[in-house]
């Protein structure tokens, strides 16, 4: 078919209105399972401290002579540990002209969009910071204070086949993890071993948190590939993933986390962790210095580990 002579077409026509959906699509991940899953506390100092206590080993020879005098036994003192508070912030601003503009997909204007996105970004930064292997530091006039991340606290670990170490807490700071140069596949015995170690020390782990690749490895544990379930009269539903793994020491939920180190698998008693806020998350106006509006979101917080023996980790696992 030929186009009729002199027919006006869209090509080259001036004035056709644009068709722009009045919405903005966001796909970046925002789930923060560790930060969202642990309790929140108020702390009163930039270096927050707490105490650890322990019992003497159980004895099967606790027997005494009738009528004998009692003598004092050796006593153990509590251990004092602490973590630094770290300042996290997001800074943003828009010009006066942009504030006045009518922009698609922004009910609150461009500033409203930025407020929402920066809030989500700050939450992701908190998750990543809590789970990172960064050493704690008091900071200085030229460097910000740093909190000690979760991997550094967990001195109970398995799977290390190289020269890696976890120095743990000492002299008011927690040192960074020294990774092994050797990595290996995450296997079922890793989980059983660390869960048993935690249980023997009195812990009750309920969550295993890991990156995407090791979540898939966990789904390959024995037995999972053969499980099926019919849903009504529809097609068979093949179970190809593990959500909860039953160990001899209790059920452990498998939770993927996009913001932790891919080489780590954390096995945690979640109730033993907290975020301590020295300053809660707050949005503040910044000084006006021209034809623009500037704001920041800021918080100051730390990671509290009630007792690291309640949890552990599987380290130096392969990531691909």
Domain spans in the chain, listed from the N-terminal domain onward: 33-51+79-314
171 Cβ neighbours under 8 A, 6+ residues apart: none
Band (pLDDT 50/70/90 cuts) for residue 2 is confident
Which run of H or E residues covers position 79?
A: strand 79-84
Q: Is residue 238 over pLDDT 60?
A: no
Beta carbons of 206 and 255 less than 8 angstroms apart: no
Would you put residue 159 in left (φ > 0), alpha (ψ -120 to 50) or beta?
A: left
pLDDT (0 to 100) of residue 22: 58
Which run of H or E residues covers position 41?
A: strand 39-42
Q: Is residue 237 over pLDDT 80?
A: no
**Mean pLDDT lowest for which of 125-129, 158-162, 310-314?**
158-162
In this prediction, residues 141-166 reach a mean pLDDT of: 93
How do residues 172-209 score in pLDDT, each as one tens digit?
A: 999 999 999 888 999 999 999 999 999 999 999 999 99
Q: Is residue 236 over pLDDT 80?
A: no
Q: Is residue 276 over pLDDT 80?
A: yes
User: Alpha helices, DSSP H only, in the chain?
Assistant: 33-37, 96-100, 109-131, 150-153, 188-200, 212-218
pLDDT (0 to 100) of residue 226: 58
How do residues 258-275 score in pLDDT, each as one tens digit?
A: 999 999 999 999 999 999
Instruction: Enter the tokens of residue 53.
Output: 């206590």
Please state, in angstroms and rounded to a whole number, the distance separating the CA atoms of residues 255 and 271.
16
Beta carbons of 239 and 228 less than 8 angstroms apart: yes
Q: Is residue 281 over pLDDT 60?
A: yes
pLDDT (0 to 100) of residue 231: 60
pLDDT (0 to 100) of residue 74: 86
Q: Is residue 146 over pLDDT 80?
A: yes
Please state, in angstroms and rounded to a whole number, the distance separating the CA atoms of residues 48 and 192.
34
pLDDT (0 to 100) of residue 106: 74
pLDDT (0 to 100) of residue 239: 62
Write phi, then psi, for 81 (nearest 5 degrees). -130, 170
Q: According to the per-residue pLDDT averaged within each range, which of 5-19, 60-74, 95-109, 227-241 is highest?
A: 60-74
How do residues 208-235 score in pLDDT, each as one tens digit?
A: 999 999 999 998 888 665 555 556 666 6
Band (pLDDT 50/70/90 cuts) for residue 289 is very high
């Amino acid at each position: 078919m030929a186009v009729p002579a002199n027919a006006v077409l869209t090509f080259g026509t001036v004035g056709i209105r644009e068709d722009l959906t009045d919405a903005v699509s966001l796909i970046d991940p925002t789930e923060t399972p560790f930060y969202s899953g642990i309790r929140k506390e108020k702390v009163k100092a930039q270096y927050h401290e707490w105490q650890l206590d322990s019992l003497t080993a159980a004895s099967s020879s606790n027997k005494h002579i009738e009528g004998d005098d009692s003598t004092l036994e050796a006593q153990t003192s509590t251990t004092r540990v602490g973590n630094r508070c770290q300042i996290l912030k997001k800074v943003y601003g828009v010009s006066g002209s942009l504030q006045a503009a009518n922009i698609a997909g922004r009910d609150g204007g461009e500033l409203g969009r930025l407020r929402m996105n920066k809030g989500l970004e700050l939450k992701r930064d908190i998750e990543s910071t809590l789970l990172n292997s960064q050493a704690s530091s008091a900071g200085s006039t030229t460097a910000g204070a740093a909190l000690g991340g979760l991997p550094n606290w967990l001195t109970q670990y398995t799977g290390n086949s190289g020269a890696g170490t976890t120095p743990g807490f000492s002299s008011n700071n927690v040192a960074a993890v020294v990774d092994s140069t050797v990595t290996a596949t995450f296997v079922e015995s890793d989980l059983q071993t660390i869960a048993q170690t935690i249980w023997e020390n009195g812990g009750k782990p309920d969550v295993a948190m890991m990156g995407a690749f090791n979540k898939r490895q966990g789904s390959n544990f024995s037995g999972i590939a053969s499980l099926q379930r019919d849903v009504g009269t529809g097609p068979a539903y093949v179970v190809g993933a593990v959500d909860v793994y039953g160990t001899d020491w209790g059920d452990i939920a498998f939770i993927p986390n996009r913001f932790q180190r891919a080489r780590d698998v954390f096995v945690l008693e979640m109730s033993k962790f907290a975020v301590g806020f020295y300053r809660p998350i707050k949005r503040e106006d910044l000084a006006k210095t021209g034809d623009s509006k500037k704001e920041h979101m800021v918080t100051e917080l730390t990671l509290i580990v009630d007792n690291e023996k309640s949890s552990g980790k599987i380290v130096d696992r392969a990531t691909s």
